Structure 1
């Protein structure tokens, strides 16, 4: 077997080469490829790096790499299902219009009439040393607008900055609490552009409570599929800065954070008042009682409408299964404890009583401003 020549490789490509070796050696071994196949692939990668300043993943590499990136995502409690991820390869697309159409395909496939399918769409990668070919400026493909007014924010305070940017670009919202934001794309060297998905394509769930009829009068709702779009996917040293992905919601993400946080929709005081709770002191635990009922409403509404969702207790049990499977495969389970524990009743889960190694292993998803 010949020796792979790595001399005269440009310094900025050394990281890419090191990561490519690590990825190919580990993933090809997991996939059952022989040593000579691994050697051949590494030889072709180093040749391509010398000739072009980058290298192109095979279909098998990008599909398996994306799945392993989910498996390695320290903050995700839902990793038991990493092998079920559907990967859409959109690396051949160039224009914003093509990107939007691919995103709409992703939304339709992932939504699946409520039976949500974990999905990632992978667009063109960033060439080392060059700008990303396209950036998605949204936090998620589906998100509600936030409008600053003299009396407070209408909608989602988390979206105020992006909403202002959309308005500067010419978008006009309805000024309601649940206006769907457009998607904003920025091609390298070009100003941002906004596009709207047809509202009928977006699965949304109106919230009601199994016991409190008045809950529906609050006119709360949330979208069914959380498609994260502000993270880059790194596989073998290659960075895909447009790679929106989704699983399904854990109920507390909506009921204990999005609708409950004081810097989001801040609904706990409203719900507590409608419940007739004693709010004269924090010691009455009115916040806790309102929080439980808000989360009960989220789970009830999603399940009634046939939209996939998981409660935090079941999610923790599923994570325990994931831990066992990984240990059976001889792999160390990494995790960020502060993210893995649910925001409601964390001490009732096994995760709360454990510690985790928070080392970031690649392939993985990283926020845009993270370097590792």
Structure 2
């Protein structure tokens, strides 16, 4: 890898496009001066933004694209209409061709996953990619996957995700042997669907050196930070993620309402302002924005579509770390020695359309 980290940006992706992506890139550049950007999108629009940001312009190369993938496009539609010509596809293709080390987009999740899988292909030994995110916990943060790449999972796919999530945790948390748990409806070994129980048996018996398997975890264990890596299939993972985001907003609204309820409550807020600020920082979704697509022959980061510049910068930060600390080689090393599931996990990996089973 070169001394700089080359990051391709889908400038047109997300709810706000260039108005968020380019200010976010500027913030990330301040944190990581060795970043170089490849910007894909409307060249005239990008040029106007760069004119006001000379430092960003100095480390950026602009590539004009014809098509924007819309946030409500179906993955199959985006592939047909935007393949090879959209800002999203071109950013991913830059990674495939070795012109960029990483691609970041705030665009349509389903389209991004479909395009990334078609263009980059999955790593040898990986049946399906997964989306991993950083989840704020009482102990700090945990890696949680899959949070929306596809529906269902065989026992072997759950094992693969455990290995990939552990590789990411080693980078993010600087832990040699991250603790891993399988999300389940109870901690007892007799509970859960067969695929989860088969994956648990394989991980427990293998005593795999790349991770410390701790057994089953329940939904409330995620926020407690009981393990460094929580593994689940994309349907339940996406529901858990959206539920947690909604709960954080609900708590913030409850606090705001309580503070404004009376004069004495407002006086009390003045004395506790520091504590409220710390809580707000902890609940700020921008701090953990950025889902990592694991299992592909390239690094792709999905930013939340509605985030602001600070949130998008966090997604770029994650991409930078995944490249600088060689996520792909760590996953490849883990996959070569991972345990194998004895159960069949029938049906979870067969007959699933790459485009249509992605959770938006």
Q: What band does the TM-score fall into relative to the shorter chain?
A: under 0.3
Higher relative contact order (CA 8 A, sep 6+): 2
Greater Rg, structure 1 or structure 2?
1
Q: TM-score, normalised by structure 1?
A: 0.26
